[in-house]
Amino acid sequence: MFEAVNLQLAAGQLLQIGGKNGAGKSSLLRILAGLARPDEGAVLWQHQPIDDSDFPQNLCFIGHLSGVQPQLTALEHLEFWQAAFGLQPADGYRVLATLGLAGLEDIPCQLLSAGQQRRVSLARLWLTQRLLWILDEPFTALDQSAIVLLQQKFTEHLSRGGAIILTTHQPLTQHFPEAQLLELAYRW
């Protein structure tokens, strides 16, 4: 996989992790999110191990799978995430309209396209105020207009002092002045 990875991310910064399929990008994200343990070393949040800090309350992780339940509607997903994250109720119809899902709020997600399901999954970014977003292939199945909208959301989040770690095989089309790139080598 990978070894000797040492990185630091500050407020307002974006880190893009690149590499070929199988290079370990998703595995690294899972370690950084606290979903897997590193063989060596530690992941720190504000100079403390993530297990001994308020890291979980500051993290929004979205994996490469959409993570939507097929039988639930888009609106039901938003209501669930608001309750699970302890968020203030938001106007779910407004959030979904922003994401191009107006008129699809009450349709089970199994009837939505892959791109529409991805938009439902990404709606969490419009709901949460968490400081760190870790996103695995967030542009998967999205059309160009959704990619632009998502990158605009990135800019907004970074300008409010948030940070983003993401993987993508697609180039970022917006300029992020504080962006860093970590390229993982394929070792097989």
Task: Retrieve residue 167's tokens.
Answer: 């993987």
In sequence order, which residues have a C-beta less than 8 Å from that of residue 19 and are 6 or more positions away?
Answer: 25, 183, 184, 185, 186
Kindly report whether the global pTM for this prediction surpasses the value 0.85: yes
Q: What's the pLDDT at 90?
A: 76
* All domains of the chain in start order, with CATH: 14-183 (3.40.50.300)
In sequence order, which residues have a C-beta less than 8 Å from that of residue 141 and are 6 or more positions away?
Answer: 113, 114, 115, 117, 118
Q: What's the pLDDT at 61?
A: 96
Q: What's the pLDDT at 169?
A: 86
User: Average pLDDT of each block of 10 consecutive residues along the chain (188 residues)?
Assistant: 81 94 92 93 92 93 92 95 82 93 96 97 93 97 96 97 94 90 82
The per-residue b/e assignment along 40-53, b for 16 or more CB within 10 angstroms, e otherwise, is eeeeebeeeebeee
Phi, psi of 26 (to 5 degrees): -65, -40
Q: What's the pLDDT at 66?
A: 83
Pick from 114, 123, 136, 142: nearest CA to 79? 123
